[in-house]
Chain A
Amino acid sequence: MNANIEPTDFVFDAVAEAAVARAIARYPAGKQASAVMALLDIAQRQMERLTGSAWVPRLAMDAVAQRLGIAAARVYEVVTFYTMYNTKPVGKYHLQVCTTTPCWLRGSDEVVSSCKKVAGIEGFGQTSADGLFTMTEVECLGGCVNAPILQINDDYYEDLDAARTEALLNALKSGAPLPPAGSSIGRQASAPVTNQTALLNNTKPVE
């Protein structure tokens, strides 16, 4: 974690500039302010690319405000409203554990405790000593069928239990890249776990 403090300046780099131009071009002239969320995401991804930590420093918010010609306070409001923008540095792997009712019923507590164990942290909002993991509690991720869900950076890891969560995080800890996203028990998308592809096997098409 090399970005513990507010950077001294923020400018969009070439990659980001291309994305910024695309985002702003999506809106009619005079309505560029609508691109605020896109630009903040671009800024967050630039920070991830350059520092390994996906977050939006205050200077980046100011840069977005200036680019769109809106008051900085309006950007601060947007950034703090949405949990997807990190206003503080996060680890390389941002562990976003869903603890809303369906995930909780399906064992999100186990996922949480596994995250704590592997990362060596005490609770939500903390970052591991090696700067690899930050665990955040999030509200419903909308993947209830495959609960419990752990979102790492942009990807969903589904159908987790304590052991599989630990294995996943330990692999990341040892330097392995992020495995393919999706169900950790190998089921296809949200198809039934028991291979049943329809409600009843003997259903015949209506003639």
Chain B
Amino acid sequence: MAKVTVDGIEVEIANGSSVLQAAEAAGKEIPRFCYHERLSVAGNCRMCLVEIEKVPKPVASCGQPVADGMVIFTDTENVRKSRRGVMEFLLINHPLDCPICDQGGECDLQDEAVSYGRDTSRYEEGKRAAAQPDWGPLVKTTMTRCIHCTRCIRFSTEIAGVPELGATMRGENMQVGTYVDKALSSELSGNLIDLCPVGALTSKPYAYTARSWELRKTDSVDVLDAVGANIRIDARGAEVLRILPRLNDDVNEEWLGDKSRFSVDGLKRRRLDRPWLRENGKLRAASWEEVFAAVTNKIKASKPERLGAIAGDLVDVESMLALKEMFTSLGSPNLDCRQDGAVFDASQRGFYLFNTTIAGIEEADALVIIGSNPRHEAPVLNARIRKRWLAGHFEAGLIGVPHDLTYPTTHVGSGPDAITALLDGTHPFAEVLKAAKKPMLILGAGALARPDGAAIHAAAWKLAAQFNMLNDDWHGFNVLHHAAARTGALDIGFLPGPGGKPTAQMLAGGADVLWLLGADALDSQAIGADTFVIYQGHHGDAAAARADVILPGAAYTEKDGTYVNTEGRVQQGFIAVKPPGDAREDWRILRAISAYMGHALRYDTLQELRAHLAQTYPAFALTGELRRLAGGSLTAPAGDPAAVSAVPFEPIFDNYYQTDPVSRASPTMAACVEAHYPNLAEAAQ
């Protein structure tokens, strides 16, 4: 620890910290453009100059390590004068086009210019001009505004692991770019927009849409993958305009995947904004009264064991609980949340959670990924694995389709038989696992949605047990879900009850009335013609087209909802805008319909529902925080580890950008598919 004095305030800070960090610890704000906590130090903007006693010249505080007894001044006349000089130089080539710049209002350069800028320019020469390269459908470039901080270059090289950006040319002619014209191929490219301290990189879909001060900001949780990234929803009027990440070091740090960020325009397209009823083979608009009557008649007319309910991937826990309890009161045990058809032992929480936790990845020293592509299924979590790899002394193995995961992996095998090879020690990677102190494995949810899913589940657990992944202070067994609703659904037991039918049986004629709560990822064509399908959801996707009754629900931005991420972290999102038209929050629809049927659920408000939820399932009492499970003294899940087949794993998504009803409705995501998967886009047409 070093003791330093910042403007007369004495602070103690770890050796190796920078002067800037010391100043922050003392509560002093240092202006900066190139410095970013999560990136390497570049020290090229010079805005963070401070004075240090016995040092003749101002010092860039971001790159200067502290020394014991250092006396730092952050606000002397000399410091102010130096920063004013730096600001003047930065503005020499900056176009000052704030009135037409999307960054206006949330621009670091603008903010600092208030403190350190001159009121007029002394510069009479011509300004530098720069080309406006095309970086694909997400990031809009206006490189004349670039101040060469290189944050974007460092982000793409260090965090995203896709080093496509560089600073070409030199001096005044230096250009930040890809050199070769191409769309950025990172799933995290949207974060460049947040990182850019000026308006050089802005959001292309959001261009010229709104000013930051016009927006209403609502904290929420992302549901387009199972990481549960913390987001901020920016809305104006009844429209969600953009989604930005919120800081949460335990989950997403401050990053957000492109799908989660840019799918917003899908929220106002293909929406179900009124109830629909199928008559004579055709859907017609109906009133709530009519559809309630139709649904009630159908349910009353069929036997309880011929009723079935499947919950989808984007649904909040409250709605699933309401649906579950409604079905229980109707006497039906046919419930399933695993619309991908996965069947595995979910009797203990540790069997289906990401037990190591996302932050815990940084403690691991070896990793096996089984049947998953975390870069597509959870890009933010993949960035965490890369962060761990960058720190050194970390080896990763991959069982499944080989991918570029932005860190090197040893390909252990293509099918689940490779797990057996590791168990036998016949594959050399077993030695790596044996030598590791804190090894972990990631089992993709896609690996469970196979005929031998239960066996793979058991084999993976056996692998974890054999290689010291399960003990009292380390739990290295992880299931990586890709559906945001899945963990919550498993937590509340949205699973077949005694004698209940799983998804596959319900689809194959096992139900006369099938209630799909936002379930779009199943094969709706497989549903028998005489099955009465009730679709409750927010997008007119595949399942809505097959439905006999459509109950318009609310998307995740339009309701207060609880979601459990893949780690088992219970998080709540808040309502940002009202659902469109006649659409309502899903639990309210279920509450209303249950009363209509005479089986009224016993909660009238969300508070009552949540209180009931926390009482019935204690895991929900703790919101936001996470208690890590111990790996020791757990019994193994049911399933025969030896029954795994040799059939190779397959990718669960054919692309990253369109995987759910919201992103499928998004023109921005369609443009991304066109840019990055030209074959897929062609096939879709």
Contacts and interface: CB of A to CB of B under 8 A. Distances in A.
A58 B180 CA distance: 9
A14 to B, nearest CB: 28
Interface in A66-95: 71-74, 76-77, 79-81
By secondary structure, the A interface counts as helix
Given A58-B180, A80-B179, A73 B169 contact: no
A74 B163 contact: yes
B168 A71 contact: no
B363 interface: no
Contacts of A71: 157, 163-164, 166
B575 to A, nearest CB: 43
B170 A73 contact: no
Nearest to A74: B166
Interface string B145-187: 0000000010001000001111111100000001110000000
Contacts of B157: 71, 73
B168 A77 contact: yes
B165 A80 contact: no
A40 to B, nearest CB: 14
Nearest to A83: B170
Interface of A: 58, 71-74, 76-77, 79-81
A81 B170 contact: yes
A73 B186 CA distance: 15
Nearest to B156: A73
A79 B180 CA distance: 13
A58 B179 CA distance: 10
A148 to B, nearest CB: 24
A182 B561 CA distance: 80
A162 B178 CA distance: 43
Nearest to B170: A81
Given A73-B153, A74-B166, A80-B170, 20 more contacts: A58-B180, A71-B157, A71-B163, A71-B166, A73-B163, A73-B165, A73-B166, A73-B178, A73-B179, A74-B163, A76-B168, A76-B179, A76-B180, A79-B168, A80-B168, A80-B169, A80-B179, A81-B168, A81-B169, A81-B170
Nearest to A62: B180
Contacts of A77: 166-168
A37 to B, nearest CB: 14
A72 B180 CA distance: 10
Interface in B472-492: none
A72 B153 CA distance: 13
Nearest to B162: A71
A79 B163 CA distance: 16
B594 to A, nearest CB: 58
A122 to B, nearest CB: 21
B466 to A, nearest CB: 34
A30 to B, nearest CB: 13
A72 B170 CA distance: 17
Contacts of A73: 153, 157, 163-166, 178-179
Nearest to B167: A77
Contacts of A81: 168-170
By secondary structure, the B interface counts as loop
B139 to A, nearest CB: 16
Nearest to A65: B163
B617 to A, nearest CB: 48
A80 B176 CA distance: 12
Contacts of B164: 71, 73
A90 B172 CA distance: 24
Contacts of B165: 73
Contacts of B166: 71, 73-74, 76-77
Contacts of A58: 180
Nearest to B165: A73
15 contacts: A71-B157, A71-B164, A71-B166, A73-B153, A73-B157, A73-B163, A73-B165, A73-B166, A73-B178, A74-B163, A76-B180, A77-B166, A77-B168, A80-B179, A81-B170
A80 B166 CA distance: 11
A73 B168 CA distance: 9
Nearest to A73: B166
A81 B171 CA distance: 9
Contacts of B168: 76-77, 79-81
A7 to B, nearest CB: 15
Nearest to B171: A81
A55 B652 CA distance: 45
Residue among B153, B157, B167, B168 having the largest count of chain A Cβ atoms under 10 Å: B168
A74 B163 CA distance: 8
Contacts of A74: 163, 166
Nearest to A79: B168
Contacts of B170: 80-81
B342 to A, nearest CB: 38
Contacts of B178: 73
A81 B175 CA distance: 11
A80 B164 CA distance: 15
A76 to B, nearest CB: 4
A77 B180 CA distance: 12
A72 B178 CA distance: 10
A147 B489 CA distance: 81
Residue among B157, B165, B166, B180 having the largest count of chain A Cβ atoms under 10 Å: B166
Chain A to chain B: the 5 pairs with minimum beta-carbon distance, closest first: A73-B166, A71-B163, A80-B168, A76-B179, A77-B166
Contacts of B153: 73
Residue among B157, B167, B178, B179 having the largest count of chain A Cβ atoms under 10 Å: B179
Nearest to B173: A80
Nearest to B164: A73
A72 B169 CA distance: 15
Interface string B386-413: 0000000000000000000000000000
A97 B81 CA distance: 41
Nearest to A75: B166
B268 to A, nearest CB: 37
A165 B179 CA distance: 37
A74 B179 CA distance: 10
A80 B168 CA distance: 5
Contacts of B180: 58, 72, 76
B361 to A, nearest CB: 24
Contacts of A72: 180
A73 B160 CA distance: 14
B172 to A, nearest CB: 13
A76 B164 CA distance: 10
Interface in B298-343: none
Residue among A58, A71, A73 having the largest count of chain B Cβ atoms under 10 Å: A73
A76 B169 CA distance: 9
Contacts of B163: 71, 73-74
B525 to A, nearest CB: 45
Contacts of B167: 77
Contacts of A76: 166, 168, 179-180
Nearest to B178: A73
A80 B170 CA distance: 7
A22 B153 CA distance: 32
Residue among A58, A74, A79, A81 having the largest count of chain B Cβ atoms under 10 Å: A81
A79 B167 CA distance: 11
B184 to A, nearest CB: 12
A186 to B, nearest CB: 38
A56 to B, nearest CB: 12
A74 B157 CA distance: 10
Nearest to B153: A73
B135 to A, nearest CB: 13
A72 B165 CA distance: 9
A72 B157 CA distance: 11
Contacts of B169: 80-81
B162 to A, nearest CB: 9
Nearest to B161: A71
